[in-house]
Amino acid sequence: MDNSNVALITKMVLEAIEKQKASAENGYLVPVGVSARHIHLTQEHVEALFGEGYQLTKKKELMGGQYASNETVTIVGLKLRAIENVRILGPVRSKSQVEVSATDAIRLGVKAPIRESGNTAGSAAVAVVGPKGVIYLNEGCIIAKRHIHMAPKDAMAAGVHDGDIVSVKADNERGTVFNHVQIRVDDSFTLEMHIDTDEANASKIATGDTVRIIC
C-alpha cells in the first residue's frame, strides 16, 4: 500500500471518529409530545359511565394502536373538587387509570404519585362521572413518569435499551435538563418524548419541539 492510500484511509478513520464524538456530544434528537390529562378505562367502566354495550368512538389515532376518543368524563377528588372534559384514550384496558399533572392533583385534592403507566398500586383514589353513571376508583390516579417512546431502530441509533433511564436537554431559552426519563421500546412506537403540561409550561416546550438525550 503506497503512502497516498495510507493517508486517505487515515483521513477517513479520523473523520469517522470525529463524527462519532460529535454525535455523542450533541446527543440523540427526539421530538416532544405534551401529554394532557387523560383516562384509560375498562369496558366495564365504559358501560357504567356511558350505558350498557357502549363502545368508545375514535377521534384521533395515536401511536402504538391507541387513539383519543370523542368521549370525555369528569374526574372528582376526595374534597369534591372536579376537572371536566377529561379525554378517554382507547382502546379499553384491563384496568382503569387516570393520568394528571401535579397541578391537576393539587386542584383535585389528591396525592397522586409519579408512576410509570400501568403501575397504579397504592395510587390516589378518584371518582369518574359520565353521562349515564359514576364509578369510584380506590386507586388509579397517577402523575405519569416522563418517558421516551422508541422503535428498536431508534433505540439502536441512540445506544439505549428498553427500561433505561436517561437525561434529556432542551436547548431553548430555558435550557431545561430532564433527569429520570425512562426509555420504552416497542415496534409499534413512534419516536417521541412525553412530558405533562406542568413540565412543558415550566420549560417552555410545545408539542413538536425537540430535545436531546445527553446521557
Task: Give me 37's grid cell.
Answer: 390529562
Q: Is the preceding peptide bond at 91 cis, omega within 30 degrees of 0?
A: yes
User: Residue 75: how many CB atoms within 10 A of its CB?
Assistant: 23
How do the pLDDT tens digits run along the chain, 215 residues long? 565 665 666 666 555 545 444 444 568 999 999 999 999 999 999 999 999 999 999 999 998 889 999 999 999 998 899 999 999 999 999 999 999 999 999 999 999 999 999 999 999 999 999 999 999 999 999 999 999 999 999 999 999 999 999 999 999 999 999 999 999 999 999 999 999 999 999 999 999 999 999 98
Task: Give me 118's grid cell.
Answer: 400501568
Q: Is the pTM of this model over 0.85?
A: no
Looking at residue 11, what is its pLDDT? 64
Task: Give me 109's grid cell.
Answer: 385534592
Looking at residue 182, what is its pLDDT? 97
Looking at residue 36, what is its pLDDT? 96
Whether 207 and 33 have beta carbons less than 8 Å apart is answered as yes
Q: Is the preceding peptide bond at 152 cis, omega within 30 degrees of 0?
A: no
Give the separation between CA 88 and CA 80, rounded to whole angstroms.
Answer: 21
Among 83, 81, 94, which Cα is nearest to 46's? Answer: 94
Give the separation between CA 29 and CA 178, rounded to whole angstroms.
Answer: 14
